[in-house]
Amino acid sequence: MGRRSRCRRLQQQQRPEGAEDGAEGGGKRGEAGWEGGYPEIVKENKLFEHYYQELKIVPEGEWDQFMDALREPLPATLRITGYKSHAKEILHCLKNKYFKELEDLEVDGQKVEVPQPLSWYPEELAWHTNLSRKILRKSPQLEKFHQFLVSETESGNISRQEAVSMIPPLLLNVQPHHKILDMCAAPGSKTTQLIEMLHADMNVPFPEGFVIANDVDNKRCYLLVHQAKRLSSPCIMVVNHDASSIPRLQIDVGGRKEILFYDRILCDVPCSGDGTMRKNIDVWKKWTTLNSLQLHGLQLRIATRGAEQLAEGGRMVYSTCSLNPIEDEAVIASLLEKSEGALELADVSNELPGLKWMPGITQWKVMTKDGQWFTDWDAVPHSRHTQIRPTMFPLKDPEKLRAMHLERCLRILPHHQNTGGFFVAVLVKKSSMPWNKRQPKLQGKSAETRGSAQLSPADPTEGKPADPSKLESPSVTGTGDTEIAHATEDLENNGNRKDGVCGPPPSKKMKLFGFKEDPFVFIPEDDPLFPPIEKFYALDPSFPRMNLLTRTTEGKKRQLYMVSKELRNVLLNNSERMKVINTGIKVWCRNNSGEEFDCAFRLAQEGIYTLYPFINSRIITVSMEDVKILLTQENPFFRKLSSETYSQAKDLAKGSIVLKYEPDSANPDSLQCPIVLCGWRGKASIRTFVPKNERLHYLRMMGLEVLGEKKKEGVILTNESAASTGQPENEMTEGQRAGETHSPDAEEADTPDAGEADSLEVTAGCDLAVAHLPR
């Protein structure tokens, strides 16, 4: 026995009678204030209470309700992604299956409330429940519901997002043609909302607008990529920059370089997060006013940079998950003051009916971490000037203050609708910022007007991380837009850049952090790779082949990606000033044995909804029963599919195919949304290449619940197939008797190698056991 074991046994022998693990002198661990081995955090902070009572942000008589709400766990909320035509089917499934199972259910003695829709979110696409995340994960009664949430989240059909976090994208009022910048985007829940809004019309594969999602943290950028990838949009680009000095981009407009100004900007800045106390309980013990004082300058610089890049007539939403006016109204007031009328607060009081909010305040004080108050800048001693800045105080001029309409800001208090705390302000740009002498509109400006426009002095710091002290002064960020465009044209004409290649910025021009990304290389028009693809899939002449790209400059191109033409424009014109982490959706993958077939590239499920409108060949229309078989069986023989499907497949050459399900409006009980799947036509069977979670999603929408997976060679058992064993495995159909024989080994040679297909898209050897769900 080791020394530690002997010591442990000795301690147990010496323990007082009745004592439990981890408690001294008797009593249970829970009674000693411990749970799971960690000390329980006391949800008290006297300084917090003193500060907010003094500022009077909570209506009189509601303080106790406010504090009680902060001490309660945050309800679980979920949002059904609205841009996919499957949203209504998911809602139908939730209401008629999962929510009904929660009725009259008790967990740990607490009655589970049936989820309710958020009254202010459009079309009942957002729901909340009193179930905390902890209960959802650990309760056996809720296991099916939890698995449903996890699976649908992975496949991009549900987003588990805090209720107040859904507000800023709604107030941006995004249209499909808008160019959008999300300045501090990670982890990406708001970004996905913006992408959904771009794709409001699913019949348009390439909306004119796009989302550029930025984050300063390189690692969090990859979390952002994961979130965005779930929505399979060709209109999203993830970049890695400091938001307070995010570079100006340019685009080609009619052969002329123009500065890119955004129609919509989301400015969800880093904050102290005291509105998140209900889910981040560490804030209770760590909260101090110093956090807000330190963040105020950064928040103002980010908001200022956003306002500079906003197009005239555009809308910018500034938001924080903090209740502190130093991070909220003080930033907005300072930004409005230095904009000299270029910005104004929009009145959005009627845009989200049902949402309860408090108007922004016009008077507040500044408190140091040791509890000292200051009402104006003149009273701040010189020794405090580095910590407290003049922009933190409200304006003294009552007329100017009244003209700002700070009451148009929205502050969400936790006890009003059982949410987290939040602050939102919606700004509209009326004219260019005073330190930008001119701001050309992207359309309708003649070259003569551009040439004769007055220029401001060039900014030597443009495109570099800025000195924080200088960035607070508006004069630093002013740069003549025309001068920037000309300078960039000169940079591009020096012959250092390969045509059609957007790689990482050269190390001399920008200091890079994190993983070095592969370049983005657009496929040249004369590339011999494309004609076989075009012929094999009979691509429509309108197919935008110029938008195809790959991530390698040498060797075989293994994956082909696609972006919208607007993002192509951005990529090609900004490689020297922008660090792109990810963009484009995968539309084709190379087969290792592709030379045996007429086309070396198979379709990828990730991009099939974008690609499908351009494909005119190799499409098989399937019934709902066919889809069930294809998604639950690994390589179903033709005989297992309907005769209509067999008649379409029998004359096709081996290779990649599209499987399309069209809803039957005459049968309302059947699935009422179209489905497009990637498949492979082998010698005598068809297989699908669909990620596991997407398979489960489609099966649920068709009324089947997946009970589990069984390892079994070749056949995937369902409750239907187990019940109907009408046809023996060795019985052959007429078509097979004519010479189409099958063996597992022969079929393996016809399908892409599992190693080169995406791991998510292959469920080889897995049997899905399913049961019927009521529709």
Quick check: 19 pLDDT over 50? no
Q: Is 184 within any annotated ligand binding site?
A: yes
Strands 358-359 and 675-681: unpaired
Confidence of residue 481 (pLDDT cuts 50, 70, 90): very low
Q: Is 403 within any annotated ligand binding site?
A: no
Nearest partner of 364 among 412, 417, 411, 312, judged by Cα = 411
What pLDDT does 566 receive?
A: 95
Q: Could you give the CA distance from residue 578 to residue 571 in angstroms, rounded to a whole number?
A: 9
Tell me the residue type at 682.
G
Q: Where are the beta strands (DSSP E) in 240-309?
A: 250-253, 256-259, 262-268
- For 231, half-sphere exposure in the C-beta direction (CA atoms, 13 angstrom radius) is 34
CB atoms within 10 A of CB 383: 7
Enclosing H/E stretch for 12: helix 3-14
What pLDDT does 752 receive?
A: 53
Q: Is 598 within any annotated ligand binding site?
A: no
**What are 154's two structure tokens?**
């992975």
Q: Where are the beta strands (DSSP E) in 108-224?
A: 110-111, 116-117, 126-129, 158-159, 179-182, 210-214
Query: Which spans in 379-514 are helix H?
Result: 398-404, 414-417, 447-452, 468-471, 481-492
Confidence of residue 127 (pLDDT cuts 50, 70, 90): very high
What pLDDT does 159 receive?
A: 87
Nearest partner of 49 among 281, 338, 284, judged by Cα = 284
Confidence of residue 576 (pLDDT cuts 50, 70, 90): confident
Residue 156, strand partner residues: none
What pLDDT does 743 receive?
A: 36
Q: Could you give the CA distance from residue 406 to residue 395 in angstroms, rounded to a whole number?
A: 11
What pLDDT does 505 receive?
A: 45
Q: Is 215 within any annotated ligand binding site?
A: yes
DSSP state string for 534-586 = HHHTTB-TT--GGGEEES-SSS---EEEE--HHHHHHHHH-TTT--EEEE-EE
Q: Could you give the CA distance from residue 193 to residue 190 in angstroms, rounded to a whole number?
A: 5
- Number of H helices and number of E strands within the chain? 27, 34
- The pLDDT tens digits of the residues spanning 221-238 come to 999 999 888 888 999 999
Confidence of residue 438 (pLDDT cuts 50, 70, 90): low
Enclosing H/E stretch for 65: helix 63-71
Q: Could you give the CA distance from residue 508 to residue 578 in angstroms, rounded to a whole number?
A: 13
- The pLDDT tens digits of the residues spanning 511-520 come to 445 566 788 8
Nearest partner of 409 among 297, 324, 340, judged by Cα = 324
Measured in Å, how far apart are the chain's first and last C-alpha atoms?
62
- For 35, half-sphere exposure in the C-beta direction (CA atoms, 13 angstrom radius) is 4
Q: Could you give the CA distance from residue 562 to residue 565 in angstroms, rounded to a whole number?
A: 9
Query: Which spans in 173-242 are helix H?
Result: 189-198, 218-229
Q: Could you give the CA distance from residue 635 to residue 751 in angstroms, rounded to a whole number?
A: 10
Strands 559-562 and 585-590: antiparallel
Confidence of residue 95 (pLDDT cuts 50, 70, 90): confident
Residue 539, strand partner residues: 615
Question: Poorest-confidence range of 152-161, 318-327, 613-622?
Answer: 152-161
Nearest partner of 421 among 49, 43, 70, 46, judged by Cα = 70
Q: Is 487 within any annotated ligand binding site?
A: no
Enclosing H/E stretch for 698: helix 692-701
Average pLDDT over residues 485-510: 46
Structure-model confidence comparison of residues 134 and 614, the more confident one: 614
User: Three-class SS of residue 636?
Assistant: coil
Quick check: 197 pLDDT over 50? yes
Question: Which residues are catalytically annotated?
Answer: 321
Strands 179-182 and 262-268: parallel
Q: Is 664 within any annotated ligand binding site?
A: no
Enclosing H/E stretch for 624: helix 624-632
What pLDDT does 170 receive?
A: 97
Question: Poorest-confidence range of 43-57, 410-424, 577-591, 702-716?
Answer: 702-716
Structure-model confidence comparison of residues 58 and 154, the more confident one: 58
What pLDDT does 301 receive?
A: 97
Confidence of residue 606 (pLDDT cuts 50, 70, 90): very high
Q: Could you give the CA distance from residue 670 to residue 667 in angstroms, rounded to a whole number?
A: 6
What pLDDT does 16 receive?
A: 42
Confidence of residue 108 (pLDDT cuts 50, 70, 90): confident
Contact yes or no for 748/713 (Cβ under 8 A):
no
Quick check: 444 pLDDT over 60? no
Confidence of residue 502 (pLDDT cuts 50, 70, 90): low
DSSP state string for 406-420 = GGGSEEE-HHHHT--
Quick check: 149 pLDDT over 60? yes
Confidence of residue 459 (pLDDT cuts 50, 70, 90): very low
Top mean-pLDDT range of 312-326, 466-480, 665-679:
312-326
Mean pLDDT of the chain: 79
Average pLDDT over residues 183-189: 94
Confidence of residue 202 (pLDDT cuts 50, 70, 90): confident
Q: Where are the beta strands (DSSP E) in 260-400?
A: 262-268, 310-320, 343-345, 358-359, 366-367, 373-374
Write down the CATH superfamily of domain 163-184+243-363+394-434. Vaccinia Virus protein VP39 (3.40.50.150)
The distance of Cα 48 from the centroid of its chain, to the nearest Å, equals: 32
Structure-model confidence comparison of residues 294 and 475, the more confident one: 294
Quick check: 214 pLDDT over 50? yes
Quick check: 36 pLDDT over 50? no
Enclosing H/E stretch for 737: helix 734-737
pTM reported for the whole predicted model: 0.81
**What are 551's two structure tokens?**
């991530």
Confidence of residue 327 (pLDDT cuts 50, 70, 90): very high
Quick check: 103 pLDDT over 90? no
Question: Poorest-confidence range of 249-258, 346-355, 469-478, 677-686?
Answer: 469-478
Inter-axis angle of helices 692-701 and 143-154, nearest 10: 120
- The pLDDT tens digits of the residues spanning 372-394 come to 999 999 999 999 999 999 999 99
Quick check: 332 pLDDT over 60? yes
**What are the residues whose beta carbons fall under 8 Å from the beta carbon of 539, sequence distance 6 or more?**
533, 614, 615, 616
Q: Could you give the CA distance from residue 303 to residue 307 in angstroms, rounded to a whole number?
A: 6
Residue 688, strand partner residues: 679
What pLDDT does 499 receive?
A: 55
Average pLDDT over residues 560-570: 95
Quick check: 474 pLDDT over 70? no
> Using CA atoms in the order 503, 505, 506, 508, what is the torsion angle rounded to 10 degrees?
180
The distance of Cα 132 from the centroid of its chain, to the nearest Å, equals: 22
Quick check: 498 pLDDT over 70? no
Q: Could you give the CA distance from residue 453 to residue 480 in angstroms, rounded to a whole number?
A: 9
What pLDDT does 162 receive?
A: 93
